[in-house]
Amino acid sequence: MRRPFERFRAHTHTRPLFLCRECGAAWPCQPARLALLVCYRGDPRGLRDFLSSRLAVAVADQPRIDPADLAVRFLDWIPPDP
């Protein structure tokens, strides 16, 4: 049996499609978002920097997808800086 926190750890992305390895949803999936929020608690800029770096890779890996759509997927769910 998995420990409670391990169910979030497995929700990492695959390349080049950036789908979740665990659930197959578009990454960052809901469990990945929760895990990232916990990991970057108190550091929203760090979270934005990390996801911006992943966004840049996703844009390069998926040239046929509109970068604006990827930006919504990767960044629009992040809470604003205080």
Q: What is the reported pTM?
A: 0.84
pLDDT at 72: 97
pLDDT at 8: 52
pLDDT at 81: 76
Per-residue pLDDT of the chain in tens (82 residues, 90 and over written 9) = 445 555 556 889 999 999 999 999 999 999 999 999 999 998 999 999 999 999 999 999 999 999 999 999 999 999 887 6
Residue 80 DSSP SS3: coil
Provide the 10 A C-beta neighbour count for residue 82. Answer: 5
Residue 40 DSSP SS3: coil
Rounded distance between C-alpha atoms, residue 74 and residue 66, angstroms = 13
